[in-house]
């Protein structure tokens, strides 16, 4: 067996390569949306920041042909106005499926309801921090992986 000498330059190079591979991974973030928006495939894997601070209902239209495994995360970064509802629209013959949680303000256990709707979103006056994580399970279905809201989830603007 022979020995192979490795110089300091090569050792530093290997350390830097490992640091780059193990280093922090940054999440893509879509800047705060405050108006109706149609998302695109470029948004897959992103955290979509939403604000309903103005007194108008908002609809975010999800991409129409998502690949299996595509994911989107939505976060309310400002409390919604008392007359603002924010809906996510999965499109014609598409659905958002799964359990969505409503957390009580007093830290008591909230409620959970199963949803299978074309549209799903936050009701009036939702506090900031509301969250919805969706993953595409087929070309026509988005599954709820995680959710948080202090108001009842809605499936149509009232």
Give the global pTM: 0.81
Above pLDDT 90, what percent of the chain? 67
3-state helix, strand, coil in the chain (%, to 5): 10, 40, 45
Q: Does the pLDDT value for residue 25 go beyond 80? A: no
Q: What is the largest CA-CA distance in the chain?
A: 78
Tell me the torsion sign for CA atoms 31, 32, 37, 41: positive
Separation of alpha carbons 157 and 80, rounded Å: 14
CA–CA distances in Å: residue 155 to residues 62, 95, 120, 121:
15, 11, 4, 6
pLDDT-based confidence at 94, cuts 50/70/90? very high
Average pLDDT, the chain: 89
Rounded Cα gap, residues 139 and 30, in angstroms: 23
Contact 38, 61 (CB under 8 A): yes
Q: How far from chain centre, in Å, is Cα 87? A: 13
Question: What confidence tens digit (pLDDT) does each residue in 63-73 have?
Answer: 988 999 999 99
Write the CATH number of the domain with boundaries 27-154. Answer: 2.60.120
Report how far residue 137's alpha carbon sits from residue 132's, in angstroms, rounded to the nearest whole number: 16
Strand order in the sheet with 28-33: 28-33, 46-51, 71-78, 131-138, 141-148, 95-102, 111-117
What token pair was written down for 63? 């991409």
């Amino acid at each position: 067996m022979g020995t192979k000498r490795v110089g300091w330059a090569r050792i530093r190079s290997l350390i830097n390569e490992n640091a780059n591979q193990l280093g922090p991974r940054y999440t893509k973030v879509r800047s705060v949306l405050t108006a109706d928006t149609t998302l695109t495939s470029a948004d897959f894997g992103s955290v979509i920041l939403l604000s309903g601070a103005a007194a108008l209902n908002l609809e975010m239209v999800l991409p129409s042909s998502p690949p299996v495994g595509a994911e989107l995360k939505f976060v309310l970064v400002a409390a919604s106005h008392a007359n603002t509802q924010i809906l996510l629209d999965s499109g014609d013959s598409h659905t958002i499926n799964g359990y969505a949680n409503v957390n009580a303000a007093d830290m008591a256990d909230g409620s959970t309801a199963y949803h299978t709707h074309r549209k799903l979103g936050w009701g009036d006056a939702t506090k900031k921090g509301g969250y919805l994580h969706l993953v595409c399970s087929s070309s026509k279905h988005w599954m709820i992986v995680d959710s948080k809201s202090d108001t009842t989830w809605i499936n149509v603007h009232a």
